Structure 1
């Protein structure tokens, strides 16, 4: 197994990514290797300075950086030696089994769609995230930003993608799927949700339990919550602010601690032909470590094969 990681992606890279990679490596077995994409000489030097053994990692020299403010498509094309472009090149060629980065989200989406491409039958991939429940578990919310405007058929596919992810990566048996809406009644909502409801209701591949309101998101009402990317991103950013507010107020609570993005590492792009994970721009070493371990889990679960079978 070879797990690709962009060393240059993120606001605190390469220091944060390298320290996270070192910690993640400690949880890998002998046949599992971390492949680091970045300035090879600088990366090896920093690993040694941190007291780790550089020989425990593989390297791909990719010294160019795609910044957060660059146009994704142009940057991928014009910077072939960037860490993100090189990562997707190796992923496409099967030289690594997964690729993750805390860098430019748009570039990660473009790279995923134009290199490894979407699984046949998938209209558009979706970005998923974890939302904590009041109890110790958590739910899956998607889409959270890949598709601002959606069609009902897309949300129907998101429901299946989220259900497969919850079942095979997190071991949630027969996950309950809810459609995020403004009311629980079937006829409630806007044109998108009203048109989506009957598609989900008649989908035999998911356990659809009906509409879910915003107040249900952190309860046991459902395991997977489906929405368009515009709505999902607003919800995600609001949820992330809860943790920040509790820190500023000096309030310590286990539930709110689980809003900390570091615990989940990153958000997978579901619906493409290889595990691709996007990390938070401000990712700490702990977040990077957990992003690598999520990549490992997705590879081990053979999740990509499960999606291909479901959409065949």
Structure 2
């Protein structure tokens, strides 16, 4: 197993990414190798400072970095020797089994779509994220920002992707799917949700719970939340703010502690032909470590093959 990591991506790279890789190494077996993409000259001193044997990692030297503010499509094309571009090229060629970065989110989406591409049958891949439940455990929400405008058939596919991901990566036996809406009744909502509801209800590949309201975001109703990327991204950013607010107010609470993004690593792009994970731009070493372990879980679960089987029919 070869887990690819962009060592140059993120606001605190390369130090945070290197330290995260060191921490993750302790949780990998001998046949699970980390492949670091970036400038080795910047990486080596950090490894030496922490007395870490550089031979534990594999390296792919790159000379360019795609900045957070750069135009994703232009940067992918114009910076062919960037850590993100080279990482996706190796993922496409099968030289690595997964690729993760806390760098430019748009570049990660473009790279995933144009290098490894969408699984045949998948109309639009989606970004998924974790939402903690009040009584323990969590929900998976998608789309969290890749597709601001969606059609009913996109939400149906998101429900299939989310269900399979919940079942095979997080071992939720019979995940229930909820459609985020402004009311519980089937006839409530926008044209998008009104049209999507009956399609989800009749779909045999999912266990449809019904509509969810905003107040259901953190309760026990459903295991997978489906919505368009505009709605999902707003809910995600609002949820993330709770953890920051509790820190500023000096509030210590187990539930709000679980809003800390570091625990979950990153957000996978579901629906492409290989495991691809996008980390938060402000990812700490702990977040990078968990993003690497998340990549490992996706590879081990063979969830991509599960996606391909579901959409081949």
TM-score range (shorter-chain normalised) is over 0.9
Could you list the per-position Cα deviations for residues 134-161 of structure 1 after superposition, in whole angstroms to 9, with x for gaps in the alignment?
Answer: 1220000000100000000000000000
Tell me which residue corresponds to 2:166. 166
Equivalences for residues 196-211 of structure 1 within 5 A? 196-211=196-211
Aligned-pair Cα RMSD in Å:
0.6
Q: Which residue pairs with 1:284 in the alignment?
A: 284
1:295 aligns with 2:290: no
Question: Aligned ranges for residues 222-237 of structure 1 at < 5 Å?
Answer: 222-237=222-237
1:37 aligned partner: 37
2:120 maps to 1:117? no
Deviations 1:33-55 (A, max 9, x none): 00000002221232122221100
SS at match of 2:150: coil
TM-score by length of 1: 0.99
Per-residue CA deviation, residues 27-80 of structure 1 (Å, 9 max, x unaligned), is 000000000000022212321222211000000001211011100000000001
Unmatched tracts of structure 1, length 5 or more: none
Give, in whole Å, the separation in 1 of the partners of 2:19 and 2:114: 30
In structure 2, list runs of 5 or more residues that go unmatched: none
Aligned partners of 2:178, 2:117: CA distance in 1, in Å? 28
Q: Name the SS for the 1:242 alignment partner.
A: helix
Moved over 6 A (4+): none
Rounded Cα–Cα distance in structure 2 between residues aligned with 1:89 and 1:50: 31
- 1:177 corresponding residue in structure 2: 177
Alignment-derived partner of residue 128 in structure 2: 128
Is 2:130–2:264's contact at 8 Å kept on the other side of the alignment?
yes
Other-structure match for 2:90: 90
Provide the rounded CA distance (Å) in 2 between the counterparts of 1:186 and 1:307.
Answer: 28
Q: Quote the residue 2:47 is aligned against.
A: 47
Residue pair 2:6, 2:36 contacting (<8 A) in 1 also: yes
Map Cα deviations across residues 94-124 of structure 1 (whole Å, 9 max, x no partner).
Answer: 0000000000000000000000000000000
Deviation of the 1:129 alpha carbon: 0.2
- The SS at the match of 2:267 is strand
Q: How does 1:3-152 map to 2 (within 5 A)?
A: 3-152=3-152
Q: CA deviation at 1:236?
A: 0.3
> Quick one: distance in 2 between partners of 1:51 and 1:276?
30
Q: What is the aligned length? A: 312
Question: For 1:90 and 1:247, how far apart are their aligned partners in 2?
Answer: 40
2:263 corresponds to: 263
- In structure 2, the partner of 1:156 is 156
* Aligned partner of residue 174 in structure 2, secondary structure: coil
The answer for the alignment partner of 1:241 in structure 2 is 241
